[in-house]
Amino acid sequence: EDQVTQSPEALRLQEGESSSLNCSYTVSGLRGLFWYRQDPGKGPEFLFTLYSAGEEKEKERLKATLTKKESFLHITAPKPEDSATYLCAVQARYGQNFVFGPGTRLSVLP
Amino acid sequence: NAGVTQTPKFQVLKTGQSMTLQCAQDMNHNSMYWYRQDPGMGLRLIYYSASEGTTDKGEVPNGYNVSRLNKREFSLRLESAAPSQTSVYFCASNPPRGTGPDTQYFGPGTRLTVL
């Protein structure tokens, strides 16, 4: 059964304090790993798709990396506007569905 | 393009009442999904539709029915609402593989409370 776990459950950072969020997964043949950002009261918003171990993608202060068992979302010098819940999901190579982790709730304090 | 739209935004029901959540997308996507989101549990798939005319059960289908009315619209029905169905419901769609960005696009959600 495909599974996704995320840690920590919640993270509080000071503005400018870099850190990483973890997404661990088990899937029967990975087609893609997805990162989303979700603001309170809104639907998830797409950030990145990673397809193979060793792949990295960047967007502003965010950088996502992928290994065969986990993905990291690195946040460099975060700002208060980066506060949100970050969701990780996987899709199997021969499947239609996406399996989501429970998310990491990030708070960046000014 | 409006993307994925959902109605209503909020709804309060009494136990045993029925209702239909509406979802529409204007991106010409084949695949559409219904999720529920509960605190600490992430998004759980209720039903999905790979194409017009087909629907399949997801992880938590009990108590729900769906209709893929046409390529644009995918509705979720609660025939007899229960307090355990209090949740936030999200509709999503994604393009066929190889035709666009490899991701799901989500609607704004429907917040449902069952008393």
Confidence of residue B95 (pLDDT cuts 50, 70, 90): confident
Chain A nearest-CA residue for B109: A43
Residue type, B80: S
Mean pLDDT value of segment A53-67? 96
pLDDT per position as a tens digit, A75-96: 999 999 999 999 999 998 887 7
Nearest to B103 among A4, A49, A102 (CB): A49
Range name among A92-96, B88-92, B97-101 with the lowest pLDDT average: B97-101
Alpha carbon of A4 to those of A15, A22, A70, B44: distances in Å? 28, 10, 9, 12
Strand pairing category for A10-14 and A104-109: parallel
**Smallest Cα distance from B15 to chain A, Å:** 24
Chain B: residues touching A (Cβ < 8 Å): 4, 31, 33, 35, 40-45, 48, 50, 56, 58, 90, 92, 101-109
CB pairs under 8 A between A and B: 51
